[in-house]
Chains A and B, each alone.
Chain A
Amino acid sequence: MAVVMFAMAVDASAQAAAGASAREGHGPNRPKLFRDQPFYDPLRAEEHAARVQLLIPAWSDEFPHSETTGSRFAWQITLGRELPIVTVSSQQLDGEMNHGEWGIGLWTPVSFHMIEDFADESNPIVDTDYRFGSMVKFQYGLSDSLRLGVRYVPWAHESTHLGDEYVIIAQRSLDFERVNVSYEYQSYGISLEGSGPLGDDTFVIRHGGLKPFGKTGYYSDHLLGSDEPALTTSTRNFEASFGAEYRFPEWRTRHVYVSFELRNPVVYNYHQTADAPEERQWTWNLQLGRSAPRNERTALKDYFFQIHRGVNPYGQLRSQKDYWSAGFGWNFGF
């Protein structure tokens, strides 16, 4: 609510100045409320981005407390969106920034990420992660074919929850612990994107970083339902990421694309010792698919095949390394 009131206040205060600044060509124009702009769209291969995505049919490595062994059918659903609050730009035309033009805006990303296992008894929801926060995105037109983007998340929260049926099964093993993976964080991203050498192709190159607030890192030092410290907290509390995406020229109404994200997350270790210290594992996510042109009026924006390899991306299961999942995905936009 505060964000909305802030946006409306910015809008009101800029009304009088809008006409004069517009004449100057590159001054800020009237703020636009609740209108999306493509200042820093999530990389298609970005894990846990706020969008509407189904991964089905899909398969997964077994989970740490699965009763049945081996790979399994496991679909993944992401429901979310980066909700636009207010944008200000030197450019009247909506869309990407042309040469010398800039745009900045405030968004609220909200998303849910779920994975369901179809191998164990009663097809348990394995985990659901919830994310929300605030996000500032900026774009500057370095030329008509090259843009610089910046994304800064000053505050966001992630809350993760194992499914109750998964927990019921997991409790049958003596070593199961219910860890409260829940944290606030900030993150940044830098993006260089533009047109490729073939004219109708596009590229994106990215770097980002995520850091949780607070000394306890990503999770509490006590188990859920207990106040007694029983866990060693995470200490390597910064996660770097690198990404790249290339869209080939349009072919039969869509672009073939390849999108890749590489992260260096910590493998959660709830009982660190000198012999078993906390470690990291390079984790990658690869998508190969077809994407609709930006203004195409279709709800199905992308369809793709995805492979994830490295640390399990879901909640307390981030203690699992060498995890894999793969499947066919569908991105929707409205």
Chain B
Amino acid sequence: MADTDYPSKLILVAFFIQEQKAGTKDERDEFSQELFDTYDALITDLCNDATPPIDPSAEARALMAIMAFHAAPSNKKKQAEAAVGAYLIHRGR
């Protein structure tokens, strides 16, 4: 698996939402990697399938991964779809 490239400041936000504290750098790094492993490939695929396709930055992918983690659906792909859909609306698509 690839290493996470999610910006640390966004991971701090996501970690804080879950834990209500900053945690240690190691804890946030592990959190970032797990978030990346769980959602990044799904998000990248969905962005490639968008019309027209988009090539989101690491920051945009991190935002979508955080939204996916908190999305309502039980299924991870559906969570990613909800997050990418929201991002595309934000981008005016």
Contacts and interface: CB of A to CB of B under 8 A. Distances in A.
Interface string B71-84: 11111111000000
Interface of B: 15, 18, 24, 26-27, 29-31, 33-35, 37-38, 69-78
Given A23-B26, A144-B76, A98 B38 contact: yes
A22 B31 CA distance: 10
Contacts of A19: 24, 26-27
Contact of A250 (B15, B24, B31, B73): B73
B34 A91 contact: yes
A164 interface: no
Most chain-A Cβ atoms within 10 A of its Cβ — which of B34, B69, B71?
Answer: B34
B72 A294 contact: yes
Interface of A: 18-20, 22-23, 25, 29-30, 91-94, 98, 144, 195, 199-200, 202, 247, 250, 255, 292-297
Contacts of A30: 27
A92 B34 contact: yes
Nearest to B37: A98
A29 B38 contact: no
A203 to B, nearest CB: 12
A103 to B, nearest CB: 13
Contact of B74 (A20, A22, A25, A202): A202
Given A293-B72, A295-B72, A93 B35 contact: yes
A98 B69 CA distance: 13
A255 B75 CA distance: 11
17 contacts: A19-B24, A19-B27, A20-B26, A22-B26, A23-B26, A23-B30, A91-B34, A92-B15, A93-B38, A93-B69, A98-B37, A199-B75, A202-B74, A247-B74, A293-B72, A293-B73, A295-B71
A296 B82 CA distance: 13
Nearest to A196: B75
B38 A22 contact: no
Given A22-B26, A23-B26, A94-B18, A200 B34 contact: no
Instruction: Determine chain B's interface SS by DSSP, over half rule.
Output: helix
Nearest to B26: A22
A22 B27 contact: yes
Contacts, number: 67
A22 B73 contact: no
A294 B27 contact: no
A5 to B, nearest CB: 23
Given A93-B38, A98-B37, A255 B30 contact: no
Contacts of A144: 38, 76
A93 B75 contact: no
A333 B69 CA distance: 20
B21 to A, nearest CB: 10
Given A22-B27, A25-B30, A92-B27, A293 B74 contact: yes
Contacts of B75: 195, 199-200, 202
A295 B26 contact: no
A19 B26 CA distance: 6
Contacts of A91: 34
Contacts of B30: 22-23, 25, 29, 92
B70 A295 contact: yes
B11 to A, nearest CB: 10
Most chain-B Cβ atoms within 10 A of its Cβ — which of A20, A22, A255?
Answer: A22
A92 B38 CA distance: 12
A44 B74 CA distance: 16
A118 to B, nearest CB: 37
Given A200-B77, A295-B70, A29 B27 contact: yes
A294 B74 contact: yes
A296 B76 CA distance: 14
A101 to B, nearest CB: 8
A23 B27 CA distance: 8
A116 to B, nearest CB: 34
